[in-house]
Amino acid sequence: MTCRVKLTGKAWKLLREQIYARAQGLCDYCGLWVDEHFDLHHRKTRKQFGDDTPDNCIVTHHSCHIEKIHGHPARAYETGFMVKSHDNLKEKQMFQHQQRWVTL
């Protein structure tokens, strides 16, 4: 049986704050400012047993999350916003702000 890191309560809130600070208040997809009601996107999805950890989570606008990432999965995999269950997150880069490749 596969297990994953799943945070709740204060731990979840602290993770969101940490990821938001790393993103410097910007959506990791489009690079525009995002308020405190941002979505936390899992690059390796929860369905794939993706963890609630900084190397797996990014800040996105709700519309970027739903329409651009999950709405276009082939492009999301190509640009590193989604990764396969067997991919190593520490090696898989992401095309942040549609400008540069980064490793989280």
Residues 55-93 have pLDDT tens digits of: 999 999 999 999 999 999 999 999 999 999 999 888 888
Nearest to 45 by CA among 26, 32, 58: 58
Instruction: Please give the share of the chain, as a percent, with pLDDT higher than 90.
Output: 65
Which pTM does this prediction carry? 0.87
pLDDT at 1: 41
Chain centre to alpha carbon of residue 89: 11
Tokens 């090696």 correspond to what residue? 91
Nearest to 22 by CA among 78, 71, 94: 94
pLDDT at 3: 57
Query: What are residue 39's DSSP bridge partners?
Result: 60
Q: Sign (positive/negative) of CA torsion 1, 11, 84, 38? A: positive
Chain centre to alpha carbon of residue 2: 21
